Chain A
Amino acid sequence: MCVVCGCAGDGSQVTMEGHGHAHPPSPYSPAARRAKSGAPAIRRAEPAHAGASHVAVDPTSGDLHFGAGAAKVSVPGMSQARAIRLETDILGENDRVAAQNRAQFAAYAVTALNFVSSPGSGKTTLLCATIEALKARAPGLPVAVIEGDQQTSFDADRIRATGAPALQVNTGKGCHLDAPMVAEAFARLHRHDHGEERSLLFIENVGNLVCPAMWDLGEAAKVAILSVTEGEDKPLKYPDMFAASSLMLVNKIDLLPYLNFDIERCIAFARRVNPDIQVIRVSATTGEGMGDWLAWIESRLKADAVASLRAGIVRSIAS
């Protein structure tokens, strides 16, 4: 079992395209587990009788240690079993790395958007169209893309064809990107010059309307894409994703005349699970609604720029 990608088999790997990054061997393999245990100098003695298993014998001196058990003290007749209270978030480790990513993005003046949707909603086509449109509307705005898929680099190839740098992250059997994957991809992707110039990072998550909702990647916002060919009730069927997203892009609206898709109903459903969600209707194919979408991106860029300016002023006053 792999914590990073959730892969189940031994052969599953998270790979970073073009960099030969192999996912480390499972930390739960017997060898890794032995290495991890830190080889304490004190070995546990074979119990002489029941209840004495917490006695430890120093292998060199033969000294006996009665406080080496879980309870740190030996009381005759008392079991070494005890309760440990943790109250720890299961996603805490991911969230810690996500917070680091967020700080990195702030340091490099990067506004990161995490695109989530089911497979086939038109994420990559929309991203390509967005990059092309930004070239005309905001020339000089650097845009980079991290592409998440289980396999292949098809999507990164499509992005690169627009001229934007892209890095494919293959999750193997994993169903979502997590914060450490994005941290590694960003380190490989980014130029690492502390420029003043703001840039845009699109993270295209694995096509999956369930799992990516739970994993914070350090993004400024999650953008859910729902195409009109999918059915208007998806926000209710998969509420967690729409609850986690700041914006819903209703894509492929050029196909509306051919479908029974009640777009108002779809938006009402999305607002049921997230009263604050913003909605923009777009067609990557015809360009309809792209102006509103680009304006939304620009508003996020501006908000991040203002926030970083403010943080800079606070820092300079403090120092």
Chain B
Amino acid sequence: MHEASLAGGILQLVERTAERERFARVTHLRLEAGQLAGVESRALRFALEAIAPGTLLDGARIDIDEPPGEAWCMDCSLTVQIAQRGDACAHCGGYRLQPTGGTELKVIDMQVED
């Protein structure tokens, strides 16, 4: 559900950029939603497609990159990959992990047309 609010936030970002950069429509929007960012990419895409008609995002191609989850294992002193919070360290099987990557939630860039 919160993906709807996030989609609104993305549109707001795009509109603010349009005021500054003066463009009429976005043809391609690239987002980053890390695996540990707490966002369901499919739901975010659905929400964006739902609000797009009549906005600058109408007809825009939307790509959502999903950088993998990474965490620092405090016991191994190693960076390990995790698919979700609560996963064990692949080396020691422990859970003393601090997520370090895949938590990003960003608009990376967009292709625009006048």
Contact = CB atoms under 8 A, between A and B. Distances in A.
Interface stretch (A81-89, A100-108, A219-227, A245-253): A81-89
A312 B77 CA distance: 38
A266 interface: no
Contacts of A211: 1-2, 5
A85 to B, nearest CB: 4
Nearest to A86: B107
B27 A214 contact: no
A6 B8 CA distance: 7
A272 B107 contact: no
B8 A273 contact: no
Interface stretch (A162-170, A172-180, A182-190): A172-180
Given A210-B1, A273-B86, A275-B96, A90 B13 contact: yes
B55 A88 contact: no
A232 B90 CA distance: 24
Chain B interface size, under 10 / 10 to 19 / 20 to 34 / 35 or more: 35 or more
Nearest to A54: B114
Contact of B4 (A1, A178, A235): A1
Nearest to A275: B96
Contact of A3 (B5, B85, B111, B114): B5
Contacts of B95: 271-272, 275
Interface of B: 1-2, 4-13, 15, 17, 19, 21-24, 27, 31, 38-39, 47, 50-51, 54-55, 74, 84-86, 88, 95-99, 105-114
Interface of A: 1-3, 5-6, 8, 27-28, 30, 33, 36-38, 40, 53-54, 68-71, 79-94, 174-176, 178, 210-211, 213-215, 235-236, 239-240, 243, 269, 271-273, 275
